[in-house]
Structure 1
């Protein structure tokens, strides 16, 4: 997920193919990365910020809650070592609190969802809400989402899964939130072919895809 405003460009998570994603989207400048949680498919590409370090001649701003910060330090100890080797990624860590935070003009409202037993953060920016790796969402957190015009939510597969919304669960959640448009992401190949699944979805609900852009 890449959010572009007039004054800042921010990525949410840096998966294993982060470098390719940035090249594909022709991202020439990146101000920050905001992390949802510490699983490898969301953090493995953090090392690739070194290209932006070199181009921008400054550290990359990293936003994460304390637990995720600790995980990044374990995964990338050389980045945070006291005696740093030349050429390693340069990052500035920023903590995410319950109250939300700004990156330039972009205000992020954190939304806590449960990925089985692991708390994971989604984020609301204006009338856009992005949530990944959710299985359950409390009523309190749903109130932060309601009123969104665009919702992005995970829909892993049709079969029951311990830590992700199934297709039916994602549809029910989307209908409860009642955004103007909902996009499903974090999809497994087990969900089926794009055209087949699209034909099954209710009005206002679509499958996301690589390269999708929306205005918020």
Structure 2
């Protein structure tokens, strides 16, 4: 029993850490980065002291919670920048960012939230945004991206994409791909009205899923 005790403690500590990070990602994705640390501890079902022992500051928690999303974001923008065709690279970034967002709501929170005191987090975020801006500049010079495009348009697309509700994760990804295709056509300097990916019927938000009398209401 004595020999096994340290291993048990390490396992408990690891489980606590993962619960804290899972809770932080979930709450940050929905409510932003201003959520109190005590609320994150409550949702993770750990004592506040346990949370602060693992993550003494919110900056450390934010950086660790979104590390995977920011690495994925960097990989996407680097792939887009490496494409010899800037328009194709730009389209790839929009498509893959929307899909990442559909698979993980924390992705958009990581990209669109500013947390100046979290140096590593903010540096990765700024790198991603600068890279998208550079890719957009190249696509404009090639005559493929509309001249009035602004970087904030990407943020708007991601925020709208994060609002997609679907009956399953797979259906959400399908709907996100169609939405990305629509956004890309809007971004083109001369839209070619190419065919869209297949439609996935979005699910209404929970608060709007029932009309009067408990019946589902929809505009069809």
TM > 0.5 fold call:
no
Work out which of the two has the higher radius of gyration on C-alpha atoms and give 1 or 2: 2
Higher strand share: 1
More helix by share: 2
TM normalised by structure 1 equals 0.25
TM-score relative to the length of structure 2 = 0.25
Question: Highest relative contact order (Cα 8 Å, sep 6+), 1 or 2?
Answer: 2
